[in-house]
A and B are shown apart, each in its own frame.
Chain A
Amino acid sequence: MGDPHTPFILASYLATVLVVGGLIVRMVLDQRAQKRALAELEARGVARGRRRGGERAAGSSGAPADRPRPAATESA
Chain B
Amino acid sequence: MLTKLANPSTFLRWSGALLPWLAGLTVATLGIGLWMAWFVAPADYQQGETIRIMYIHVPAAWLALFLYAMMSASAIGTLVWRHPLADVSQKAAAPIGAAFTLVCLITGALWGKPMWGTYWVWDARLTSVLVLFLVYAGIIALWRTIEDPSRAARAVAILTLVGALNLPIVKFSVDWWNTLHQPASVFRMDGPTIYPTMLYPLLVMALGVTFLALTMHMYAMRTEVYRRRVRTLSILEAERLDERRLAA
| Binding between chains A and B | yes
Contacts of B49 in A (CB 8 A): 1, 3, 5-6, 9
**Cβ–Cβ contact B106 & A73, under 8 A:** no
Does any Cβ of A come within 8 Å of B174's Cβ? no
Contacts of B225 in A (CB 8 A): 76
Number of interface residues of A (CB under 8 A): 44
Does any Cβ of A come within 8 Å of B126's Cβ? no
Query: What sequence of 0s and 1s flags, for each residue 40-76 of chain A, a beta carbon within 8 Å of any chain B beta carbon?
Result: 0110101110000000011111111001011011011
Does any Cβ of A come within 8 Å of B227's Cβ? yes
Does any Cβ of A come within 8 Å of B123's Cβ? no
**Cβ–Cβ contact A23 & B95, under 8 A:** yes
**Cβ–Cβ contact B219 & A31, under 8 A:** yes
Known: A8-B111, A58-B235, A64-B151. A76 touches B103 (CB 8 A): no
Does any Cβ of A come within 8 Å of B125's Cβ? no
Which residues of A does B touch, CB under 8 Å? 1, 3-6, 8-9, 11-13, 15-16, 19-20, 23-24, 27, 30-31, 34-35, 37-38, 41-42, 44, 46-48, 57-64, 67, 69-70, 72-73, 75-76
